Amino acid sequence: MMNRFIALALSIVCISFAEAAHLELPRSDAFAITQQLRFIEDSDATLTYQTLPDSDTHWEKNNDSHFNKGYSRSVWWLDLTIHNPDDHGHTRYLDLSYAVLDYVDVYIYSGDQLKEEYHTGDMRLYHSRPIDSNTFVIPLTWRPGETLRITYRLESGTSIQAPLTLWEPETYASKDAYSNIVQGFFFGSTLILAFYNLLIFFILRDRNYFYYASFIISLPLFFLTLSGQGYRYIWTDQIVLNSHAIPFFLGMSFMFSGFFTRRFLNLRALSIPTDVLVATFALLGGSVAVLSIALPYAIAIKALVPIGLCACFVYLFAGILAGFRKVPSARYYLIAWICFLVGSIFFALSKLGLMPLNFITEHAIQFGSIFQAVLLSLALANSINVERKLRFQAQADTLVTTKRLNEQLENRVHERTQELEVLNKQLKVLSNTDELTGLKNRRYMTTSLSEEWKRSARYQRQLSVLLLDIDFFKKVNDDYGHQIGDQCLIEVAKLIYESLRIPSDQVSRYGGEEFFVMLPETDAAGALSVAERIRSNIEKHTIVVDDTRFPVTVSIGLYSCTPETKHSVDYILNCADIALYQSKEQGRNRVTLYSEDNISGNSVEAR
């Protein structure tokens, strides 16, 4: 009985050892073999592929579907044995699909003989990779019945992960092409979205669009680095750039997303403490991004992971607060950040070794960012619509207010226009009136005479004018003073006005002691009659001012004609002035009619 038990136990041990010792070459096109690994942690980094122990007691079996040791300073050795049971050869690709490992050394044994070795990693030149791929792919070739032992040496400042998959070459090529198409679609879409928002920024000068565009540019660059696509296609063989790209772009994404959150939700007006908190995490993310240029990757990324997680929760809290405060578009922002937060949490936990590494966790932040970018774009579009509605409403209110103000203004303008018309009439009267005598002034006389001249010339009507001058008026001023002289002018003006016959006759003060009378539709005989009446009435009148009494006389020059187009107003005034001069030369107190036949004129003497 005991012998049977021992035999059974030995059989189980042998079977277990056989399972641990090698794996039959899978028949499938793609086979995850991470669970078949055994590993050794070389904490002192003293082992080499020649000094690796052969005894199974030194190796630990990986019983999980993933291999993730988080951030570790140790060197990790992985070992896998695959047997080809067929009578023909096979070729496979072994893909270690974690693109940010610093140093990846691969040793391939056939029996005890080292068949191939590869030394690659993202801290080595890209062309050190045997297969053109963004991850670490090595070709494996089995002869009939051959067993290959594959040993990995992993050393990295990043998280130590080893997702291993055995591929048929054709299947891997199809998968790689498909992955490139998907990644290209993602990167292209986000970059187009970023440039579109940058264009809106340049048009509107709204920093919301600049921060958002910078944020969604930083994220694709971060994913490009994380997936190895950046090192493969953009900054190939730029080892220093590649080693600092992940923390730099990740920190920048946290910074720009924080700045976007502050402006988009208007946190300064919403909550000062929340605004300060968001700004703090945004500046922390940006600071670590800048410092990551000089800091080791492990330090920078370990600082960014907790900062990023806290920042996501703070930004989420800001969105919740904005939602409660009824901020427009806050619901879009809130859902967007929930998507990104969930993806970030899955991604961060997978890097810390707290969640299994698989397709979902590896690309969780990428999926979250896609949803976030779409939702934030909708949020920005919604904010534009809200602003447009508010602007239209403001314009409508402005139009109503403007219409009301215009009506009020029109009423006031109408009132003011009427007042101005009255004032203009008064001003016109004042501007055409001599202040002392109350008669029309010379400016009015000149305009009125010009109009009457044209009318009389058109209809061939007689027109007569009188030019009057007070005789010896200077002596009046010298003997009695200017005040009495002014009173004399006033009374003479009154006498002239009262001596006119019909309203169409006009009298004005020509200047100083001179007066002008225009007699439309009047021939020389009628004008002489009017002039003599004026002269006689003034001669008979005595100027009385207080105790001062004195007589005055006037000399008058008369010109009468039917106006001709060849003559002008100045001509008629000149003729009247010549006649006035003749009156003065002939002894004053008389009327002289200008005659072209007798340039000396005819004079009517005072009687």
Domain spans in the chain, listed from the N-terminal domain onward: 19-167, 180-383, 442-604
In this predicted structure, what is the pLDDT of residue 276? 93
Check whether 362 has a pLDDT greater than 70: no
In this predicted structure, what is the pLDDT of residue 303? 87
Higher pLDDT, 348 or 251: 251
Least confident of 183-197, 431-445, 452-466: 183-197
Closest among 41, 83, 84, 43 to 59, alpha carbons compared: 41
Give me the CATH code for the 180-383 domain, please.
1.20.1070
Check whether 68 has a pLDDT greater than 50: yes
Contact criterion met (CB below 8 Å) for 75 and 101? no
In this predicted structure, what is the pLDDT of residue 7? 38
Check whether 175 has a pLDDT greater than 80: yes
DSSP per-residue string spanning 116-158: EEEEE-TTS-GGG-SS--SSEEEEEEE-TT-EEEEEEEEE-SS
Q: At 421, phi and psi to the nearest 5?
A: -60, -45
| CA 97, 98, 102, 107 torsion-angle sign | negative
H/E segment holding residue 303? helix 297-324
Query: Looking at residue 507, what DSSP letter applies?
Result: E
pTM of the model: 0.57
Give tens-digit pLDDT for 314-351.
888 888 898 888 877 778 777 877 777 777 777 667 65
In this predicted structure, what is the pLDDT of residue 390? 66
Cα angle at 434 between 428 and 436, to 5 degrees? 140
Angle between helices 482-499 and 524-540 (to 10 degrees): 140
- Which residues does 223 contact at the CB level (< 8 Å), separation at least 6? 183, 186, 187, 229, 365, 366, 369
Contact criterion met (CB below 8 Å) for 263 and 291? no
Least confident of 271-275, 289-293, 385-389, 595-599: 595-599
Contact criterion met (CB below 8 Å) for 228 and 137? no
Tell me the pLDDT band of 604, cut-offs 50, 70 and 90: very low
Tell me the pLDDT band of 606, cut-offs 50, 70 and 90: very low
Give me the CATH code for the 19-167 domain, please.
2.60.40.2380
- Which residues does 555 contact at the CB level (< 8 Å), separation at least 6? 468, 469, 471, 580, 583, 584, 588, 589, 590, 592
Tell me the pLDDT band of 265, cut-offs 50, 70 and 90: confident
Angle between helices 297-324 and 272-291 (to 10 degrees): 160
Higher pLDDT, 508 or 503: 508
The residue assigned the tokens 């809130």 is 334
Fold of 442-604: Alpha-Beta Plaits (3.30.70)
In this predicted structure, what is the pLDDT of residue 20? 40
In this predicted structure, what is the pLDDT of residue 313? 83
Q: How far apart are CA 385 and CA 374, in angstroms?
A: 16
Contact criterion met (CB below 8 Å) for 81 and 38? no
What spatial distance separates the first Cα and last Cα of the chain, rounded to whole Å? 184
Burial per residue of 462-487, b for 16 or more beta-carbon CB atoms within 10 angstroms, e otherwise = bbbbbbbbbbebeebeeebeeebbeb
In this predicted structure, what is the pLDDT of residue 388? 67
User: Average pLDDT in the 512-536 region?
Assistant: 92
Mean pLDDT, the chain, whole residue set: 83
Higher pLDDT, 209 or 138: 138
In this predicted structure, what is the pLDDT of residue 184? 80
Count of CA atoms in the C-beta half-sphere (13 A) of 334: 15
